[in-house]
Amino acid sequence: MAVEIVAALLTASGIAYGLLALVGARAFERDSSKQVVSGFAPGVSILKPVKGVDPRMYAGFVSHCRLVYAGEIELLFGVRSLEDAAVTEVARLRVEHPAMNIRLVECPVLLGSNGKVSSLAQMLPQAKFEHVVVNDSDILVSPEYLAKVMAGFGEAAEQQIPFGNDTQKSNDRQKSNDKYGSRPVGLVTVPYIGLAHGTVWSKLEALGISTDFMAGMLTARKLEGGIRFGLGSTLATTKTALAAIGGFEALVDQLADDYEMGARLAAAGYRVELVHEVVATTVPAYSLRGFCEHQLRWARGTRDSRRAGYLGLGVTYVLPWALAAVIASGGALWSFSLLSVALLVRVGVALTVGVGILQDGQVLRDMWLLPLRDCFGLFFWAWSYAGDTIVWRGERFRLKRGELQRVEDRA
């Protein structure tokens, strides 16, 4: 009886979370309808640390050379060594897109455990412009990407109030000022989808990005009145804002450097803006082992970044709890009714966020994997509390309050 009651309560909590996620998604859609591309077009330095050659990486490079933007753009690639395989791809890009200002920066010094951020710290002094955009090597963007991201700055682009009568615009701006005060925008970030690459494990991760992670982000945005973290899909900021938090050097040992950058900028008095411009990243063709290592690294990184919020994450995986209620109750009619409601809400969130907001067609194709995705999600959530070690690019690290410490292999 006790197990039955606990499972039912956890299922009800998961359903309540799903409804909150739908409210958060609706709020984001409503706010996004007020965003327009402004005339704010400062010069921008795009920083892309690279290591090796990843699937679809070059396509991501090319998409940045096809940006439609009124201001100047420079594209900086950072490598640890000029012998890196990515150097050949950058050279190819220069030949095929001679009109784009493309530079290669060697970043030979390892400043901390996070190699990517170490490279960024060495790339930033080479950047020509005050505004900088950081994104991962394989990020695929639309031609309007940079214009929309930069529109998130200018007075928050005056909160991007759309055209209308002067009285209405004045009232909308006043509401915006009441909500945000006069804090300047220090970081603009965007949602993203994962493009699955072959295996069922790759599909499960991509499905989780669009239907779990992004839904959770929109829920947090609604509950907290905005976001106070960044997403590695896009970190657009300024040199001035970075200096206020100690620059990239202050983040060289952080696993969740994107989250930490946003959190520190918010703590320093800056605003973090989420712009409705969806980009895409590549999800590798994971084996089961690779999938587990990546999911566990993600789970433990999130656990250390948002300890209080992460504790409640377990209830969001509603389908395993609903199935547990069915089993614990011996298949009672009420438990099947609860399962039906849970499934309806779970699918509703997947369709609203994954398909409606993110325009991710993979969600429809892989919808049948949702129960399995939830079961894995709950498993990794529980497993994340069983230790503090992770594997990243073949190296083992120990996490201590979000910081990476190398674990030396014993001979």
Give DSSP secondary structure letters for 214-225: HHHHHHHHHHHT
Name the CA radius of gyration of the chain, rounded. Answer: 22
Q: Would you state the pLDDT for residue 311?
A: 86
Band (pLDDT 50/70/90 cuts) for residue 37 is low
Nearest to 358, CA basis, from 124, 127, 98, 25: 25
- Strands, E, within 37-111: which ranges? 44-49, 73-79, 101-106
Helix (H, G, I), strand (E, B) or coil at 112: coil
- Taking a C-beta distance cutoff of 8 angstroms, is the pair 258, 305 a contact? no
343: exposed, middle or buried (Cβ count in 10 Å: 0-12, 13-18, 19+)? middle
Q: Would you state the pLDDT for residue 228?
A: 92
With a cut of 70, say whether residue 180 has pLDDT above it: no
Q: What share of the chain is helix, strand, coil (3-state, %, to 5)?
A: 55, 15, 30
Helix (H, G, I), strand (E, B) or coil at 201: helix
Q: Would you state the pLDDT for residue 308?
A: 80
Helix (H, G, I), strand (E, B) or coil at 234: strand
**More confident of the two residues 55 and 351:** 351
User: Looking at the DSSP assignment, which residues form a beta bridge with residue 47?
Assistant: 76, 134
**More confident of the two residues 165 and 267:** 267
Residue 10 has, within 13 A of its CA and on its CB side, a CA count of 23
Q: Would you state the pLDDT for residue 251?
A: 95
Q: Would you state the pLDDT for residue 1?
A: 78
Tell me: the pLDDT tens digits for 41-56? 999 999 999 999 987 8
With a cut of 50, say whether residue 177 has pLDDT above it: no
Structure tokens at 186: 């220090």
Output the CA angle 171-173-179, nearest 5 degrees.
Answer: 105
26-35, 204-213, 342-351: which has the minimum mean pLDDT?
Answer: 26-35
With a cut of 90, say whether residue 17 has pLDDT above it: yes
Band (pLDDT 50/70/90 cuts) for residue 409 is low
Band (pLDDT 50/70/90 cuts) for residue 171 is very low
User: Cα separation of 297 and 86, whole Å?
Assistant: 25
Q: Would you state the pLDDT for residue 400?
A: 86
Band (pLDDT 50/70/90 cuts) for residue 183 is confident
| Percentage of residues of the chain with pLDDT beyond 70 | 92
**More confident of the two residues 33 and 85:** 85
With a cut of 70, say whether residue 410 has pLDDT above it: no
With a cut of 60, say whether residue 172 has pLDDT above it: no
User: Cα separation of 110 and 76, whole Å?
Assistant: 18
Tell me: the pLDDT tens digits for 382-402? 999 999 999 887 788 998 888
Over residues 118-128, mean pLDDT: 97
**More confident of the two residues 408 and 209:** 209
Band (pLDDT 50/70/90 cuts) for residue 91 is very high
Tell me: the pLDDT tens digits for 288-319? 999 999 999 999 999 988 888 888 899 999 99
With a cut of 70, say whether residue 246 has pLDDT above it: yes
Q: Would you state the pLDDT for residue 182?
A: 72
Q: What is the pTM of this model?
A: 0.88
Over residues 124-134, mean pLDDT: 97
Q: Would you state the pLDDT for residue 49?
A: 95
Over residues 259-284, mean pLDDT: 95
Considering the chain, what is the average pLDDT of its residues? 90
Output the CA angle 152-305-388, nearest 5 degrees.
Answer: 150
Nearest to 74, CA basis, from 53, 95, 51, 97: 97
| Percentage of residues of the chain with pLDDT beyond 90 | 78
